[in-house]
Amino acid sequence: MISLIKHKFPIYLLSTYFLFFSSIVIGQSYIDYRSPFHPTSGQSGMVVSQNKLSSDLGIEILNKGGNAVDAAVAVGFSLAITLPRAGNLGGGGFMLVYIKEKNEIFYIDYRSQSPLNADLTQLFGDKLPKDLEYKDFDVVREGYKASAVPGTVAGLLDAHTNFGKLPLDEILEPVIKQAREGIRVTYDLSKAIESTSQLANDSESKRIYFKNNAPLKEGSLMERPDLANTIQKISEEGKSGFYNGDIAKAFIKAMESNGGFFTLDDFKNYKANISSPIVASYRDHLVFTAGPPSGGGVTLLTALNILSIFDFKEFESNSSKVYHLMAEALRRGHNNRSHQIGDPNFYDVPIEKLLSKERTIELMESFKADKATPSSKIKPLKILNESKDTTHYSIIDSDGNAVSNTYTLGYSFGSGVTIPGTGILMNNQMNNFAYRYGDKNIKGRAASPGNRFELGKRPMSTMAPVMVFNKDFELTLITGSPGGSYIPAAILRVVSGVIDFDLDIGQATMLPRIHKDWPYTGLDYEEQLSYDTVKILQSLGHKPETNKTMGSTQSIHIKNGINYGYSDLRRPGAGVSIQTN
């Protein structure tokens, strides 16, 4: 945890200004809005997630007297029902928890973990790492061998044990009801099922998500009795009900029948890690995010360290100059995560050096304000010795406690495997290790020393839940995003929009986004970016390539005592819910 200096300030209520026009008809008025992207405001609790039903359920917990952590537990379990392609009990993630009374921030790493019974020979046969081809990795993309030991239940329940208020059974009661009664399948969910081939290859997943050999149709009722029973058992027995009881035994039975690796020892030995987040200063703000095994946090903070050198006051938020600087900062951030980031229990991650002033200066040696830098000029830190279908939610309660949580199954619907009798979809996080460690022909992350495959290890991730505090050490922004390697770019755009350009959270969220990785040469951009800007970036030496939408930030901006929530429009079904009392 990290302790912050306490300050107390009066709360100022924002005024809404109306323009009144006199005419024969008295009382006519209108509001000339600055932007079409309107945040939802409130002065009490707020939940922002990628599914409105789950956001509403989180508010139900706050209305019962629960705090932000209680609501986060309920939302985390609920999203396994409402957003099964990403919300999960069979995956893992990272969480930041801010406790206002203590003025402390905690980081919970509940990333999925490699089984102790797996090894390279069982995965890839006798092939050497350097000889592995793309098709060889299918074994860690789909099916029973693709899954790492799930950490979501441990992470959510450890957060509740340490920071929650309500009894666990009271928190999970409405979630169990939601699973039993079912939800109506949305167009988005139906199309997601249709486009996910691995679901149809698993008999249990096919039983749940298909009917008459066709994906569940929009408007149909999807009931989840098996998942309801699983959550019921967890509500009664807590963490041991998942990791030591009948649920764990169901996992092992399914694994043994299908060539998977899990043993009871994998479940009994799994632990979520609670520590301090990493932090950087950016224009009189403190930006906290997830440390290793997150590489996304390092990417984001590296980019902010570089951008802090430049004065953005003379630029517009959509200027080509801003996009160029962000592109060059992001690719250096991705360089920083590509070699030395891994599970800190297995690798001595040089986090202080990666985020140091000296490293920033080193990265700036090849930086040009008017020209794209060749990848070969950006050197990794020398030391002696990713899927888009994640989801994020942000929560604040009436007392100012807050949660920023990002978790994932990996691919959409993970490995496609559902453990029979449990309703739990499994992750494919075994896909995220650097299996070609030591291959000198590879410059990128596929050969990362820090992320090499080892038994019992947690793979690197780009997930990066974020909290931002102002110069008075007051919480001002909670955000995060899915999007695989696009996550740092999506968050950077929002943080910069709020801090650099004083935009409201709706405007900052809907700014067009760009992404530039390392060592790749292309610059991905959303098609909303203006043609003129694209041409200017091209003239600077970038190689612009249109891409689909990047990320789906779920954010809360706290300003003058009022919470402003905004769900990214890039993915359907998301929503902000507020306490009205």
Which string of b and e fits 141-163 if b means at least 16 CB within 10 Å?
bbbbbbbbbbbbbbbbbbbbeeb
Selected residue with higher pLDDT from 133 and 490: 490
**In which band, very low, low, confident or very high, does the pLDDT at 300 lie, cut at 50, 70 and 90?**
very high
Q: What are phi and psi of 536, to 5 degrees?
A: -65, -45
Q: What are phi and psi of 562, to 5 degrees?
A: -115, 140
Q: Which amino acid is at 153?
A: V
Residue 170 lies in a domain: yes
Residue 203 lies in a domain: yes
The average pLDDT across 173-188 equals 97
* pLDDT reported for residue 3: 61
Instruction: For residue 50, count CB atoms less than 10 angstroms from its CB and return exposed for 0-12, middle for 13-18, buried for 19 or more.
Output: buried
Q: Single out the catalytic residue among 390, 391, 476, 553.
A: 390
Residue 29 lies in a domain: no
Per-residue pLDDT at 130 exceeds 80: no
Per-residue pLDDT at 14 exceeds 50: no
What CA–CA distance (Å, rounded) separates 513 from 516? Answer: 10
3-class secondary structure, 276: coil
Residue 313 lies in a domain: no
Determine whether 553 is an active site residue: no
Residue 573 lies in a domain: no
Residue with tokens 């043609």: 531
At how many degrees (to 10) do helices 152-163 and 68-82 cross?
A: 160
The structure's pTM equals 0.92
Residue 393 lies in a domain: no
| Cα–Cα nearest to 368, from 282, 306, 281, 311 | 306
The average pLDDT across 48-69 equals 98
Instruction: For residue 240, count CB atoms less than 10 angstroms from its CB and return exposed for 0-12, middle for 13-18, buried for 19 or more.
Output: middle
Contact 578, 46 (CB under 8 A): yes
The CA-based angle 439-110-84, given to 5 degrees, is 95
Per-residue pLDDT at 218 exceeds 50: yes
Q: Residue 221 forms beta bridges with which residues?
A: 184
Residue 301 lies in a domain: no
Instruction: For residue 374, count CB atoms less than 10 angstroms from its CB and return exposed for 0-12, middle for 13-18, buried for 19 or more.
Output: exposed
* pLDDT reported for residue 234: 98
Q: Residue 405 forms beta bridges with which residues?
A: 95, 393
Per-residue pLDDT at 372 exceeds 80: yes
Helix residue ranges per DSSP H, 308-345: 320-340
Per-residue pLDDT at 16 exceeds 70: no
Residues 6+ apart with CB under 8 A from 366: 373, 377, 378, 379
The average pLDDT across 297-314 equals 95
Selected residue with higher pLDDT from 92 and 339: 92
Q: Residue 390 forms beta bridges with which residues?
A: 408
Residue 257 lies in a domain: yes
What CA–CA distance (Å, rounded) separates 366 from 360? Answer: 11
What CA–CA distance (Å, rounded) separates 296 from 406? Answer: 11
Torsion of CA 353, 354, 360, 364, to 10 degrees: 130
The average pLDDT across 542-569 equals 96
The average pLDDT across 97-106 equals 96
* pLDDT reported for residue 377: 73
Domain that holds residue 136: 53-89+120-270+406-447
Per-residue pLDDT at 21 exceeds 60: no
Contact 444, 335 (CB under 8 A): no
Per-residue pLDDT at 43 exceeds 50: yes
Residues 6+ apart with CB under 8 A from 187: 218, 572
**In which band, very low, low, confident or very high, does the pLDDT at 10 lie, cut at 50, 70 and 90?**
very low
Number of domains in the chain: 1
Query: Please, which contacts does 33-37 make with residues 24 or more away whose CB atoms are closer than 8 Å?
Result: 34/504, 34/507, 35/504, 35/506, 35/507, 35/510, 37/504, 37/506, 37/507, 37/509, 37/510, 37/566, 37/569
Query: Please, which contacts does 182-185 make with residues 24 or more away whose CB atoms are closer than 8 Å?
Result: 182/221, 182/222, 182/223, 182/224, 183/53, 183/81, 183/82, 183/221, 183/222, 184/219, 184/220, 184/221, 184/222, 185/216, 185/217, 185/218, 185/219, 185/220, 185/221, 185/222
Contact 21, 28 (CB under 8 A): yes
The average pLDDT across 84-110 equals 97
pLDDT tens across 379-432, in order? 666 543 356 679 999 999 999 999 999 999 999 999 999 999 999 999 999 999
Q: Residue 288 forms beta bridges with which residues?
A: 279, 467
Average pLDDT, the chain: 91
What CA–CA distance (Å, rounded) separates 171 from 181? Answer: 17
Percentage of the chain modeled with pLDDT above 90? 83
* pLDDT reported for residue 389: 77
Kindly write down the DSSP assignment for every residue of 78-105, as one continuous string.
Answer: HHHHH-TTT--SSSEEEEEEEETTTTEE
* pLDDT reported for residue 1: 65
3-class secondary structure, 426: coil
Of the candidate ranges 199-203, 252-256, 267-271, 385-389, the one whose mean pLDDT is the lowest = 385-389
Contact 109, 446 (CB under 8 A): no
Of the candidate ranges 132-141, 302-311, 410-419, the one whose mean pLDDT is the lowest = 132-141
* pLDDT reported for residue 20: 33
